[in-house]
Structure 1
């Protein structure tokens, strides 16, 4: 998989914003406390080998949006996880979710390709013991048609636009905040503070987890610091499926 970015044009930005108004499905949340979910996209192997133990040491688990078509391949974020890594996540209580099989752009893919791709991915992940009940759009690329096609298949669809989830928020286009870049930890802390102030649900996402991460990843220390900070601020840490159950 090569580096790829969401359509940066004004048309692309307007499409993603317009999608938030269409094919909505309210999330009914009854939160006694603010909640934080740690999620991982594409899932480089480093996230499993270095990131998962961090969460487990803190007594929490994450949601992992996997692409079966990337298993064992080398990419710009390092080698990707494989089937054994998925089994390891399942055996230690993490949530396995979908991110398409081949990391395709869900807006550009036609209906036939999109359906075949997500069906194959979910089948593989379920064979490995995952529930594959939730989904994240690769690159955050979403449009009304993709929401309409994928909404009935999953308990939720997640994007990459920053925000918090409140009662009534759209579970077909959940916002998420990236733990990435030099200021990723600082930015995530600020969002945790906002979630506490509003007693809301914050979804965080990252990719590789290693000492020298890619621009899309974070260090194990940053992940550990954020998990501890969320707990210190009185947040529950739950998987996406646990929040929406």
Structure 2
């Protein structure tokens, strides 16, 4: 089984009591986690690079690295670590918030945090990392009409590809909000895989359009991190 890690922000967490504070991992903790995986002989890969392993076409000590939403602090704080260790990662961008912020969190009292610009997204790609899609507007897909849900999926791919000048083949369901019909839309749109918020390691039998991941939070100390990545105890198969 293969762990695919989920991160959001890599930076200094907001003050105690702030909503969603746990989703920001300190840069020193992120570095420690990546360095330990390298010391143990593991290679961190973007979803694109991980696909042969997920399909059983290749074997090796690999794990997936994903970031949701396209935060600028990932570009600033995580990318140098990834590049130093020669790891690749997938970042799922919200197509109509390039150079914007996490506006979808505003009603929950979450502090605004800057997202990558189109130039930064292209630099992320040029460094060997992967640009994935997180819809046009970070929406709950199952709460939309089928027509609007499909538009969010298809048009986001088109707009990101136009900005990037390259194919976008990885998708992530915002909020983990998906159904069999939505998975089918993602597949029809031409994506090669899609990740969820279901917790667990990836099994060979898993649907490539319903891939589970391992969430990493601010409070994930290094021993817990290793337990999540390297044991089956994390394979709980439940949504966040």
**TM-score, normalisation: structure 1:** 0.64
2:187 pairs with 1:151: yes
- Going from structure 1 to structure 2, the CA distance change for 1:101 and 1:34 (only over 3 Å counts) comes to same
Q: Could you tell me how far 1:103 is from its partner in structure 2?
A: 0.5
Q: Write out aligned runs for 1:105-120 (5 A).
A: 105-120=140-155
How many residues of Structure 1 are paired with residues of Structure 2 in the alignment?
Answer: 173
CA distance in 1, matches of 2:139, 2:151: 12
> Residue 68 of structure 2: SS of its match in structure 1?
strand
User: How far is 1:181 from its partner?
Assistant: 3.0
In 2: Cα distance, 1:80 partner to 1:86 partner: 10
Alignment of 1:47-58 (within 5 A): 47-58=74-85
User: TM-score by structure 2 length?
Assistant: 0.65
Aligned counterpart, 2:138 = 103
> Structure 1 residue 137 and structure 2 residue 164: aligned?
no
**Contact residue 132 and residue 169 of structure 2 kept, 8 A:** yes
> C-alpha deviations, 1:49-89, integer Å up to 9, x for none?
21111100111110111111111223336111110111111
Alpha-carbon distance change, 186 to 71 in structure 1, aligned in 2, over 3 angstroms: farther
Q: Which range moved further: 71-80 or 58-67?
A: 71-80
Q: Does 1:178 align with 2:202?
A: no
Q: Displacement, 1:142?
A: 1.4
CA shift digits 1:168-198 (9 cap, x unpaired): 2211100011111312654432122127x9x
Aligned match for 1:164, one of 201, 214, 236: 201
1:17-43: CA deviation from partner (whole Å, max 9, x where unpaired): xxxxxxxxxx63244223201111111
Report 1:36-47 matches (<5 A): 36-47=63-74
CA RMSD of aligned residues (A): 2.3
Match of 1:73 among 94, 100, 103: 100
In 2, Cα distance between equivalents of 1:160 and 1:190: 18
Q: How does 1:216-235 map onto structure 2 within 5 Å?
A: none
8 Å Cα contact 1:95/1:130 also seen in 2 = no
- In 2, are the aligned partners of 1:72 and 1:81 still within 8 Å (CA)? yes
Deviations 1:107-141 (A, max 9, x none): 11211111222222111221213421011100111
SS at match of 1:175: strand
Q: 2: CA distance between counterparts of 1:77 and 1:191? A: 29
| Corresponding residue SS for 2:217 | coil
Distance 1:68 1:29 in 2: 31
Question: Partners of 2:187 and 2:63 in 1: how far apart?
Answer: 23
Task: Kindly indicate whether the alpha-carbon contact (under 8 Å) linking 1:179 and 1:185 is maintained by their aligned counterparts in 2.
Answer: no
2:156 counterpart residue number: 121
Structure 2 unaligned regions, length at least 5 = 1-18, 21-53, 103-110, 236-240
C-alpha distance in 2 between matches for 1:184 and 1:139? 24
